[in-house]
Amino acid sequence: MTVATYPVTAPVVGPALKPRLRHHHFLLAVALLLAVLVVGLTAGAVLSRPTPTACHFSCGPDVGRQYLSPTAYVSSAFGYRVQYDARAFTKSNASSSGVQLSTRDGSGVLIISSAAGSDTQSLLQLSINKINSNVIQDVQAVGQLPGAEIGEVQGVGWVYTGTFVPPNGGQSLPVTVIDVAASHAGVTIGALAIGPQDLSSVANLPFGLANAQELDQPLTETLWAARP
Amino acid sequence: MSATADEGLMTGSLICAHCGQSVPPGTFCGFCGAHLHEEKGRRRLGHFAASPSEHVLRTALISTLFPHLMRRHAHVFRETFAGGALLVLVLAALRLYTPALLLAAALLPVLYLLYVHEAEVWERRPLSALLATFGVGLLLGVGYSLGFGQLITPSFAGTEQGPLLSGILLPVVAQLAMVVGPSTLLWRKDLDEALDGLSVGVMSAFGFVFASVVAGYWHNLTAPLVGQAAVSSDQILNILRVAIIGAVVSASTTGLVTVTLWLRRHGRGRGLQKSILLQPAAMVFVALLAQVGLGLGSYFLSSLLAVVALWALGAAALLMALRVVTHLALLEEGAAHVIAPSSPCSECHMVVPSMHFCPHCGAARSAAPKRFRPDLEVVR
């Protein structure tokens, strides 16, 4: 054990130790560093912004793909049938009243649901409420979708934009969300299509849903239980 | 305690009931840091070793991550941080999404750079330490964000690869990447204190998070500078989560690992604090568990608000855990009994014998800015 004695003085307050940077120098340094970083990176981002490709008259919409391996989901509750190309979509979350079809590359998803009755508005709202706000953020309505249709039955639809934020990192990207519902013979079918937003090609205009044709195909090929 | 008069000065000492050493009279033991007048004073949880006026069990960002700051100067950092966070909201209100996100991402790294300069945390060869921590963190952060952006296929239900990759593997890889830079400094003899471990870990984490946020959100940043619509509350919440709360989480988990690694590697422990919290393996486990827990939570929770709340709670808990580990490490540190002529304590400014701890306020001398530390003489 160490035994030592120590000088004991009356309590003395020493001189205040001065910081290396005085307060106003510190604030100036913070402001300068942040300004350089924020302004520099913002300028870089603005300068590297992609510009849309002008198409003029030369590029029309692509021809839709033909079904090479057709398959179908059949709703056991309401009897309607959604045909899709198994080479283009994977099926998941199938239930008696709905199904989720995801494009093979994972970039688009089509969620089909249904309910008894003819309340299309409720189904529209139900579909949009199902969006995972952790992954699809900042969902904002753009406007009504003209010509909304499911299996040759005219319906109603809304277009939304949002930002897809991958869980746990990765690049976020803007997406277009299309919410459609149509009712026929006491059954209402709703469809929510989500895909990356690409406004650089006129083929995707006016709403910029990059894989709109691909996602629209199963809706066009939907057969109602009671044929319209 | 014995004391004798000697030309106006008194000499005296008392035996610390916690470590058995003969130490100067005061409130705290200058050798082990224990409270001399409390039976359960060995861990003195009411007095954080780096800032004795604060309790150990509280969530405090600045005194935990910036422990070398003098109390008189800490408020400047605290107010600057609060002002910066407020400015993020102002920029968002002005529809300037890109500057808002960049400011949020840069705020803590810039404050930490100035802290390292202010407290001379890396007194010798600071540039090489900065490159090994912040520089390596930046590189790995960009690589992580862009590399895994290509490897994983995001889907609207999470990722095509499922929670195993997104919720478990990616957070583990990110955490390990944040320790790469600091581990190259583990053998540097001038960075041998537990708080050196803390500073290199935190700096590396800040570099990694800053780079991964900028690279990961580059698509968003290239949008028109002034948005057509107001920046939504969702976007603001997300900015706070990824850039500020995420940085605090990563700094805390990495700090937990590096503080204990440094304490173990440099053999400065005195065996005074027996705790599993000072075991590197235990802290690696805690860090990975926290990252995976938050990763899985983010994957499965479908409400952004719930995710932000989860991350905020996680950050608060991890910050407190880091504070406890830092406190114990400071009490544990110091391989020999050291004493030097009296000098003013940087925390309370009282002129006291220079020992591991200020006998008056209990501040660990190793938490003082390095330029204010007297050279301690080893007494064996």
Q: Residue B119 has which token pair?
A: 């407290």
pLDDT in tens, B177-212: 999 999 999 988 888 889 999 999 999 999 999 999
Residue B51 belongs to a domain: no
Residues B346 and B326 in one domain: no
* More confident call, A203 vs B315: B315
What mean pLDDT comes out for the span B232-255?
91
- pLDDT above 50: residue B51: yes
The mean-pLDDT minimum among A44-53, A113-122, B309-318 falls in A44-53
Residue A202 has what pLDDT?
A: 65
User: Measuring CA to CA, how many Å separate B268 from each of A50, B17, B193, B211, B332?
Assistant: 55, 22, 8, 34, 8
Q: Looking at residue B260, what is its pLDDT? A: 95
Q: Does A197 touch chain B (CB under 8 A)?
A: no
Q: B335 pLDDT exceeds 60?
A: no
Same structural domain, B200 and B250: yes
Q: Which token pair is A194?
A: 């989500």
Q: Which residues contact B373 (CB under 8 A, 6 or more apart)?
A: B354, B365, B366
B27 touches chain A (CB under 8 A): no
Q: What is the pLDDT of residue B9?
A: 37
Assess if residue B54 is contained within a domain.
no
Where a domain ends, among B316, B332, B348? B332
pLDDT at residue B127, rounded to an integer: 92
Please determine, for the modelled complex, whether the ipTM score is greater than 0.95: no
How is domain A71-223 classified at the CATH fold level?
Protein Transport Mog1p; Chain A (3.40.1000)
Distance CA B98, CA B107 (A): 14
What does the pLDDT average to over A103-130?
Answer: 84
What is the mean pLDDT of the segment spanning B33-54?
87
User: Which pLDDT score is estimated for B321?
Assistant: 97
Same domain, B274 and B324: yes
Residues 34-93 of B with CB under 8 A from A: 70, 72-73, 76, 80, 84
If you search the block for the tokens 């909201």, which residue do you land on? B89
Q: What sign results for the dihedral spanned by CA atoms B346, B347, B352, B356? A: negative
Higher pLDDT, B334 or A146: A146
Chain A contact for B145 (CB, 8 A cutoff): yes
* d(CA B6, nearest CA chain A) in Å: 9
**Amino acid at site A216:** D
One domain, residues B120 and B236: yes
User: Backbone phi, then psi, for A95, in 5-degree steps?
Assistant: -135, -175
Choose the final residue of a domain: B314, B332, B350.
Answer: B332
Residues B327 and B343 in one domain: no
Q: CB count, 10 Å around CB of B117?
A: 16
What DSSP state is assigned to residue A211? T
Residue B181 domain-assigned (yes or no):
yes
Residues B88, B12, single domain; the answer is no
* CA-to-CA dists, residue B214 to A38, B151, B176, B305, angstroms: 11, 18, 20, 22
List, for residues A138-157, the tens digit of each pLDDT value. 888 888 888 888 988 888 99
Tell me if B146 is assigned to some domain.
Answer: yes
Q: Which of A188, A189, A225, A194 is nearest to A212 (CA)?
A: A194
Do B349 and B317 have their domain in common?
no
In a domain, B56, yes or no: no
Q: Of B332, B353, B369, which one is at a domain's C-terminal end?
A: B332
For residues A27 and A209, give the distance between their C-alpha atoms in angstroms, rounded to a whole number.
Answer: 46
Q: What's the pLDDT at B337?
A: 52
pLDDT of residue B189: 85
Q: Is the dihedral of CA B262, B267, B271, B274 positive or negative?
A: positive
Percent of chain B whose predicted confidence (pLDDT) is above 70: 87
Q: Which domain holds residue B248?
A: 61-332
Helix, strand, coil % in chain A, rounded to nearest 5: 20, 35, 45
- B289 assigned to some structural domain: yes
Same domain, B18 and B76: no
Count structural domains, chain B. Answer: 2
> Is residue B231 one of the residues assigned to a domain?
yes
**DSSP bridge partners of A159:** A143, A178
User: Do residue B306 and residue B355 come from a single domain?
Assistant: no
> Which of these ranges, B63-77, B139-153, B221-235, has the smallest mean pLDDT?
B221-235
Residue B49 covered by a domain: no
**B158 pLDDT band (50/70/90 cuts)?**
low
- B134 pLDDT tier (thresholds 50, 70, 90): very high
Both B209 and B300 in one domain: the answer is yes
Contacts of B110 in chain A (CB under 8 A): 30, 33-34, 37
Confidence band of B230 (pLDDT split at 50, 70, 90) = low
Q: Which range, of A117-121, A145-149, B29-33, B191-195, averages the lowest pLDDT?
A: A117-121
pLDDT of residue B90: 93
* Cβ–Cβ under 8 Å, residues B29 and B359: yes
Q: Are residues B282 and B320 in the same domain?
A: yes
Q: What pLDDT digit, counting tens, does each position of A60-113 carry?
A: 554 444 455 567 888 877 888 888 888 888 888 888 788 888 888 778 889 998
Q: Smallest CA–CA separation between B279 and chain A, in Å?
A: 27
Tell whether B195 and B82 lie within a shared domain. yes
Dihedral, CA atoms, B60, B62, B67, B70, nearest 10 degrees?
Answer: -120
